[in-house]
């Protein structure tokens, strides 16, 4: 009976904590909740501290206080380590802290890593120790038996591909994968574009069984960044012509293609100001693109109308009507 009563009390407390967190908007609110939990004897309860750490990192973006909570735990579990490492890896100026925290965990020997922590650790490796860091973590992954997990394998491919000297290692790992998803393919394609190997990036892209918008954006951006402007525009054309409701150019696509249009003279540089790019409307752009495809309008006409629309020099109704004349 006592254990049942304790379960009911814990469930009620869990609900209270979650409800309070939903209403928290400031660090002082979090500190009050933390003090409340401490008075109840939960200063070292990983479950509640995990909730506090996640709230700090995700809602408050306060990594300093999140680490303050973390450092006062005697035995943080793998979920707390993952929460902190994920937060550090997501901020370019904190990637070294992600790697050092992982290193401390490995040296302590507890908790043991799982497959979910490695992708975030690997994300920080190239920024800290370049390929050496990736190789060190790769060794730990092999020892722990997580190398064949798709999410881990994809993270290894991405990490190795960030160094031109290790792009062949990335491709070897990619070729060895039993399960390749769109994320895996995109990671390898992005790796090739980062090191300037557009030929292999395009070949791999053409081999993909399925594609999504980020994958299209990756190859378009890669071509643009490496000076293959005509190829970038060509891929944009192909993307627009894909007959799928799930494949539509978005804001990122337009921003990737615009520089190529500027360099090839399709759109003059004066239209590509920072202010106008910040005003991109994904929903409006997608509707305009769809209409353009239906009317078989030209790419030149599309970009001209799109930018005029975004710069408020043309009404939306006029833009759609003007496509009739581009067909």
- Residue 199's pLDDT is 96
Tell me the mean pLDDT per 10 residues along the chain, length 327: 44 85 90 93 94 95 96 97 96 90 94 94 81 89 92 94 91 93 96 95 96 94 94 86 80 78 59 41 48 46 51 50 50
- Residue 99's pLDDT is 92
Q: Indicate the SS3 state at residue 244.
A: coil
How many C-beta atoms surround the C-beta of residue 18 within 10 A?
A: 10
Q: Where do the structural domains in the chain lie, given as residue ranges?
A: 29-76, 91-179
- Residue 312's pLDDT is 47
How many C-beta atoms surround the C-beta of residue 155 within 10 A?
A: 25
* Residue 105 near residue 76 (C-beta atoms within 8 A): no
C-alpha to C-alpha distances, 190 to 31, 144, 155, 194, 222, nearest whole angstrom: 42, 28, 12, 6, 7
* Residue 174 near residue 154 (C-beta atoms within 8 A): no
- Residue 311's pLDDT is 41
CA gyration radius for the chain? 25
| All residues at 6 or more sequence positions from 47 whose CB lies less than 8 Å from its CB, including other chains | 14
Q: Indicate the SS3 state at residue 64.
A: helix
The 10 Å CB-count burial string (b at 16+, else e) for 199-232 is ebbbebbeebeebbbebbbbbbbbbbbbebbebb
Q: What is the pTM of this model?
A: 0.76
Q: What is the separation of C-alpha 244 from the centre of its chain, rounded to a whole number of angstroms?
A: 23
């Amino acid at each position: 009976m006592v254990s049942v009563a304790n379960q009911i009390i814990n469930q009620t407390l869990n609900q209270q904590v979650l409800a309070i967190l939903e209403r928290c908007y400031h660090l002082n609110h979090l500190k009050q909740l933390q003090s409340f939990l401490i008075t109840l004897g939960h200063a070292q309860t990983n479950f509640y501290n995990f909730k506090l750490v996640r709230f700090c990192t995700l809602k408050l973006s306060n990594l300093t206080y999140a680490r303050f909570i973390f450092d006062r735990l005697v035995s943080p579990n793998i979920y707390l380590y993952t929460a902190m490492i994920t937060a550090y890896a997501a901020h370019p100026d904190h990637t070294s802290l992600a790697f050092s925290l992982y290193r401390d965990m490995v040296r302590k020997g507890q908790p043991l890593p799982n497959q979910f922590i490695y992708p975030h650790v690997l994300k920080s490796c190239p920024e800290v120790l370049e390929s050496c860091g990736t190789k060190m973590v790769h060794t730990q992954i092999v020892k722990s038996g997580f190398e064949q997990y798709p999410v881990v394998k994809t993270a290894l491919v991405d990490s190795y591909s960030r160094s031109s000297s290790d792009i062949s290692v990335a491709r070897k790992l990619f070729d060895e994968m039993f399960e390749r998803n769109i994320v895996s393919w995109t990671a390898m394609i992005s790796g090739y574009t980062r090191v300037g190997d557009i030929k292999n990036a395009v070949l791999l892209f053409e081999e993909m069984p399925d594609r999504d918008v980020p994958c299209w954006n990756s190859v378009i951006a890669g071509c643009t960044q490496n000076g293959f402007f005509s190829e970038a525009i060509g891929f944009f054309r192909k993307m627009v012509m894909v007959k799928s409701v799930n494949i539509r150019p978005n804001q990122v696509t337009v921003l990737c293609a615009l520089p190529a249009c500027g360099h090839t003279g399709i759109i003059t540089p004066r239209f590509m100001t920072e202010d106008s790019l910040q005003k991109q409307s994904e929903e409006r752009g997608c509707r305009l693109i769809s209409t353009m495809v239906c009317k078989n309008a030209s790419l030149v006409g599309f970009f001209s109308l799109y930018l005029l629309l975004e710069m408020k020099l043309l009404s939306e109704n006029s833009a759609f009507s003007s496509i009739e004349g581009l067909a």
